[in-house]
């Protein structure tokens, strides 16, 4: 598994975008395309279903040397041995957590990422000592219905103020990627622009090629 600081392209096996494909098939294509991180996201699945999916995907990502991220379910991540868990603001702070160690264990058994949608949320998240932050949604996106876009201003703020690894997320495509990079992002999360592509591996390679054009 790459260190988080060296990861550039964060992709997803999202149950809402299967389109007849199996999660395992999607994960393999994302690995083949050079994803640095792959998150399992299945918002409408039961915990048992998510655990079974995680147990199916983990051998695939481990063979490729890619970290599997479990969304929303830290107990499942710990149970299956996934290296990273990701939580939203509500799933972390409103669940009563104040520091990452309450989720990751002490000594640390996995890494933790937190979503943020504004500078004040990022500053609050930093005090919890996560391993990375997600910044977004940069543009309107169907994966976050009703969530207003934070725009490139938040990306510029993050580039100026954050020192831990952070990933821009939300509506990022090959068409707007240059603007996101120009604003200071060096790591991105991509959902629909890859999962809706006819060839997932090729789409990953196209994003990685563009990311490689700017230094970390």
Q: Read off the pLDDT of residues 126-137 as tens digits, 9 standing for 90 and up.
A: 999 999 999 999
Would you say residue 106 has pLDDT above 90? no
Q: Read off the pLDDT of residues 49-84 as tens digits, 9 standing for 90 and up.
A: 999 999 999 999 999 999 999 999 999 999 999 999
Place of tokens 């939203």: 88
Any domain includes 187: yes
- The reported pLDDT for the residue numbered 140 is 85
> Which residues in 124-191 belong to E strands, given as ranges?
132-135, 166-168, 188-189
Any domain includes 216: no
210: pLDDT confidence band, cut at 50, 70 and 90?
very high
How far, rounded to the nearest angstrom, does the alpha carbon of residue 198 sit from its chain's CA centroid?
21
Any domain includes 16: yes
- The reported pLDDT for the residue numbered 144 is 67
> What does the alpha-carbon distance between residue 154 and residue 148 come to, in Å, rounded to a whole number?
12
- The reported pLDDT for the residue numbered 148 is 84
Q: What is the mean pLDDT of residues 35-41?
A: 98
Q: Please give the model's pTM, rounded to 2 decimal places.
A: 0.96
Any domain includes 101: yes
Count of the separate structural domains present in the chain: 1
Would you say residue 143 has pLDDT above 70? no
Would you say residue 146 has pLDDT above 70? no
> What does the alpha-carbon distance between residue 28 and residue 30 come to, in Å, rounded to a whole number?
5
39: pLDDT confidence band, cut at 50, 70 and 90?
very high
Provide the mean pLDDT of the chain.
96
Would you say residue 87 has pLDDT above 70? yes
Would you say residue 170 has pLDDT above 70? yes
- The reported pLDDT for the residue numbered 38 is 98
Q: What token pair was written down for 148?
A: 């207003």
How far, rounded to the nearest angstrom, does the alpha carbon of residue 43 sit from its chain's CA centroid?
14
> What does the alpha-carbon distance between residue 115 and residue 173 come to, in Å, rounded to a whole number?
20
- We report the CATH number of the domain holding residue 92 as 3.20.20.70
- The reported pLDDT for the residue numbered 145 is 66
Q: DSSP secondary-structure letter at 189?
A: E
Give residue 188's domain range: 4-211
């Amino acid at each position: 598994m790459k260190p988080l600081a060296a990861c550039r392209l964060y992709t997803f096996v999202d149950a809402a975008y299967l389109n007849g494909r199996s999660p395992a098939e999607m994960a393999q294509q994302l690995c083949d395309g050079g994803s640095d991180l792959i998150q399992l996201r299945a918002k409408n699945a039961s915990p048992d279903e998510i655990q079974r999916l995680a147990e199916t995907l983990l051998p695939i990502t481990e063979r490729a040397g890619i970290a599997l991220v479990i969304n929303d379910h830290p107990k499942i991540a710990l149970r299956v041995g996934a290296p990273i868990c990701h939580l939203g603001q509500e799933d972390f702070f409103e669940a009563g957590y104040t520091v990452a160690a309450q989720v990751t264990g002490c000594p640390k058994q996995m890494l933790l990422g937190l979503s943020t949608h504004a500078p004040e949320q990022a500053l609050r998240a930093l005090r919890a000592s996560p391993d990375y932050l997600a910044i977004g949604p940069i543009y309107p996106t169907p994966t976050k219905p009703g969530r207003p876009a934070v725009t490139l201003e938040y990306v510029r703020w993050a580039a100026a103020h954050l020192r831990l690894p952070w990933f821009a997320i939300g509506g990022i495509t090959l068409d707007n990627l240059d603007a996101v990079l120009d604003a200071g992002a060096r790591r991105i999360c991509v959902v629909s622009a890859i999962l809706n592509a006819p060839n997932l591996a090729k789409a990953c390679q196209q994003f990685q090629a563009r990311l490689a054009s700017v230094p970390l």
